[in-house]
Amino acid sequence: MSKDQLAQVAQALVAPGRGILAADESSSTIAKRFAAIGVESTEAARRDYRELLFRTTPAMQKYISGVILYDETVRQKAADGTPLVSLIEKAGSIPGIKVDAGAKPLPGFPGETITEGLDGLAGRLKDYYDLGARFAKWRAVIDIADGIPTRGAILANAEALARYAALCQEANIVPIVEPEVLMDGGHALQRCYEVSEVVLRAVFTALYEQRVFLEGIVLKPNMAVAGKKSPHQASPAEVAAASVRLFKNTVPVAVPGIAFLSGGQSDFEATANLDAIARLSPPWAVTFSYGRALQAAPQKAWSGKAANVAAAQAAFAHRAQMNSLASLGQWSEPLEKAAA
């Protein structure tokens, strides 16, 4: 393990004004996204779509610090034979890789899941490092519903996250630690806050016990938000106040930065809430690690047609710029509309 290398990469991932593009959708997930825009999910279509994102310059150079890839994508080549990893590196971004095997039902805990993928992970990490990946992602999923989450499920997922992080660092790969409390239900913001606090405390206890080097990780959490079905949707100011309080109470200052997940928020919501958080000047670098909130607009603009590549790249560049400004606390709704 090279602590200097890990710290350097972690700092680069949360550099001011730059964030992470989550392009790590599984084959089944991207098939659903493509179906929504009338595109068949073939290997060539997936390659073409991701290639157009990675060739979006200067947006990649200015606004994207890293790109999380799926196993297929980290091995793919562009239409001209250039490895997609090389396109990312040429844009000044850092290639990363999703390494978990997804959330599966947790035996004995109805309605709860455990993320799998630890078996053989050390060997896979070595292969991914050789392919150019310098950071990785593992997502733990915590749902809120009647009677859940239970402490047992929280602890199981925290332990798995910590083991993953330790294995990554042994391979000189920066782990993105992603404990996601889902926003699918009808719970209030305060319930999200309470669950997220318990989850984050468990995660950092497990990281400490597994001797994870905190200066060499990036935290990718949910914001403190109400569930989608809640009758009261919090304002950006309310989300920001609760989120910053949450992280001040749970996240050590040794962590270089927090790269928020969008978690099902709309493009606008994810940007507005990030901006409100950044304006409170929390003690960590704050930025974005968005998938849908960066990709929904370019996917719709592209719709699988080569003639639409420029329009899709413009849509991606716009969303990347808006979130860059938000991460600096410099975004506004009038600015968003003027730049559209």
Catalytic residue ranges: 178, 220
Neighbours of 107 (CB within 10 A): 8
